[in-house]
Amino acid sequence: MSTTWIVVAAVGTATIALKSVGPVLLGGRPLPTHLTGIVALLAPALLAALVVTQVVGGDEELVLDARLVGLGAAVFAILVRAPLLVVVVAAAAATAVVRALA
Amino acid sequence: MTPARYRDGARRIAPIGVAAFAFALSFGVLARASGIGSVEAIVMSATTFAGSAQFAVASILGAAGGVASAIVAATLLNARYAPISVSVAPVFVGGRLRRLLESQLIVDESWAMSRRTDGRYDRRLLVGAGLVLYLCWVGGTVIGALAGDALGDPASLGLDAAFPALFLAILVPQVRSRRALAAAVLGGTIALALVPVAPAGVPIVAASAACLIGWRQR
Say whether B210 and A41 touch across the interface (CB within 8 A).
yes
- Interface residue of B34, B44, B190 to substitute, partner A, most A CBs within 10 Å: B44
Smallest Cα distance from A96 to chain B, Å? 4
Pick the closest to residue B23 from B46, B47, B52, B48 (CA basis). B52
Distance spanning both ends of chain A, measured CA to CA: 46
Check whether B66 has a pLDDT greater than 80: yes
**Surface of A (36-75) touching B: CB under 8 A:** 37-62, 66-67, 70-71, 73-75
For B195, the closest chain A residue by CA position comes to A60
DSSP state, residue B211: G
Q: Bridge-partner residues for B168, per DSSP?
A: none
Pick the closest to residue B9 from B98, B93, B123, B107 (CA basis). B123
| A72 Cβ contact list (under 8 Å, min separation 6) | A94
Burial zone of B118 (CB within 10 Å; 0-12 exposed, 13-18 middle, 19+ buried): exposed
* pLDDT confidence band for B152 (50 / 70 / 90): confident
In degrees rounded to 5, what are phi and psi of residue A72? -60, -40
Alpha-carbon distance of B163 to A88, in angstroms, equals 8
Say whether A19 and B180 touch across the interface (CB within 8 A).
no
Residues B134, B110 contacting (CB under 8 angstroms): no
Check whether A1 has a pLDDT greater than 80: no
Q: Report percent pLDDT > 70 for chain B.
A: 96
Check whether B81 has a pLDDT greater than 90: yes
Check residue A66 and give its pLDDT.
96
| 3-state helix, strand and coil shares in percent for chain B, rounded to the nearest 5 | 75, 0, 25
For B217, the closest chain A residue by CA position comes to A34
Say whether B163 and A39 touch across the interface (CB within 8 A).
no
pTM over 0.80: yes
- Interface residue of B105, B168, B205, B216 to substitute, partner A, most A CBs within 10 Å: B168
Q: Measure CB to CB from residue A78 to each of B155, B168, B213 and give the nearest one.
A: B168
- Interface residue of B204, B212, B218 to substitute, partner A, most A CBs within 10 Å: B204
Residues B49, A16 contacting (CB under 8 angstroms): no
Residues B22-45, mean pLDDT to the nearest whole number: 93
**Model confidence pLDDT, tens digit, residues A2-51:** 899 999 999 999 999 999 999 999 988 888 888 888 888 999 999 999 99
Partners of B191 on chain A (C-beta within 8 Å) are: 48-49, 52-53
**Model confidence pLDDT, tens digit, residues B115-147:** 987 888 999 999 999 999 999 999 999 999 998
The total of other beta-carbon atoms located within 10 Å of residue B29's CB is 20
Alpha-carbon distance of B105 to B165, in angstroms, equals 21
3-state secondary structure of B114: coil
Q: Measure CB to CB from residue B81 to each of A19, A31, A87 and give the nearest one.
A: A19
The total of other beta-carbon atoms located within 10 Å of residue B215's CB is 11
Alpha-carbon distance of A88 to A83, in angstroms, equals 9
Check whether B3 has a pLDDT greater than 80: no
* Assembly ipTM: 0.94
Q: Measure CB to CB from residue B67 to each of A3, A12, A94 and give the nearest one.
A: A3
What b-and-e string marks burial along A78-96, b requiring 16 or more CB atoms within 10 Å of the CB?
beeebebebbbbbbbbbbb
